[in-house]
Amino acid sequence: MALSEIPPTADGDRFRQLMTVAREQQLATRPMSDIVQAIAEQLLGSAYQAGLLDESAEETLVASLTQFDCVLFVEAVLAIARGIALQDYTYSSFTQNLQAQRYWNGHLNGYCSRLHYFSEWIADNHRRRLVQDIGTQLGGIPLEKTLNFMSQHRSSYPQLVDNSANYRCIQAMEASIAHQKINYIPQDQIRQRYPQLQPGDIIAVATDIPGLDVTHTGLVYRHPNGNIGLIHASPVGEVTIAEDLQNYISNVESAIGILVARPLDPRQNVR
């Protein structure tokens, strides 16, 4: 690992710690699901911080390992895990993986290139074989709604308030995903799917809020006793583990169920 490329910050220190753990535990020899859960566990107690991606007026690649919102937590864990699986312990690999996940076709090209709706995040990453959307496989049902929350709530998004170009671009983006198929597992059927879930599966909380697909994200956590929980950056204040997935979802305001995607193992895509 080229130490010179790691930023001399708290995030850089955390990256070094994670790479040390990865080597000591020989994570690269383990299944992708184990790698994801092991990395997520190392981030327990990290602070929750909303709005990190929108602090700059210009879209830049935000790479945080010490504070997260719910999506940043999922992205950071997956980006780290992909590098470890390939025994690539460089910081540049981490940031490249982050960009690949966060932006349409993996290209950062302004605010509108970010995958703002998480169902579109899943669809785009599925198309590029970074994750697999397993909602249909799990017997999910269609989420029938028009995604237009951002354009309908312009004042809630700093980059849209005084930027007409961004606003028009977001409207066009919403139109482009109008017919996207989204399948979700209804809230009262989640526990029935526990045997089919794996540690590290990506969970997105589907909502009945008009115009919006998802309100929260996290990762499946398998407890030592085999029960299925959720490890996530909680708005309550930190990265934590909810003991039971279905119980947690049932207490989320406006939740109707979950979208599920599975991180694909990059070792199986190496030719």
Instruction: Write the pLDDT tens digit of every residue in 56-108.
Output: 889 999 999 999 999 999 999 999 999 999 999 999 999 999 999 999 999 99
Quick one: tokens of 205? 């909380």
Question: Are the C-beta atoms of 187 and 203 separated by less than 8 Å?
Answer: no
Average model confidence (pLDDT) for the chain?
95
Instruction: Look at residue 30 and tell me whether its pLDDT is greater than 60.
Output: yes
CA distance 260 to 201: 7
Q: What is the mean pLDDT of residues 50-55?
A: 92
List C-alpha distances in Å: 52 to 35, 60, 72.
26, 11, 9
pLDDT of residue 189: 98
Band of residue 269 on the pLDDT scale cut at 50, 70, 90 = low
> Which amino acid makes up residue 170?
I
| Percent above pLDDT 90 for the chain | 92
pLDDT at 1: 40
Residue 4: per-residue pLDDT: 46
pLDDT digits (tens, 9 = 90+) for 157-215: 999 999 999 999 999 999 999 888 999 999 999 999 999 999 999 999 999 999 999 99
Query: pLDDT at position 179, please?
Result: 87
Question: Angle of helix 32-42 relative to helix 10-24, nearest 10 degrees?
Answer: 140
Residue 250: is its pLDDT beyond 80? yes
CA distance 39 to 21: 9
**Which overall architecture, per CATH, does domain 3-268 show?**
Orthogonal Bundle (1.10)
Please check the confidence at residue 3 and state whether its pLDDT lies above 80: no
Domain ranges of the chain: 3-268
Greatest Cα-to-Cα distance within the chain, rounded to the nearest angstrom: 53
- The rounded distance, in Å, linking the Cα atoms of 203 and 214 is 10
3-state secondary structure of 183: strand
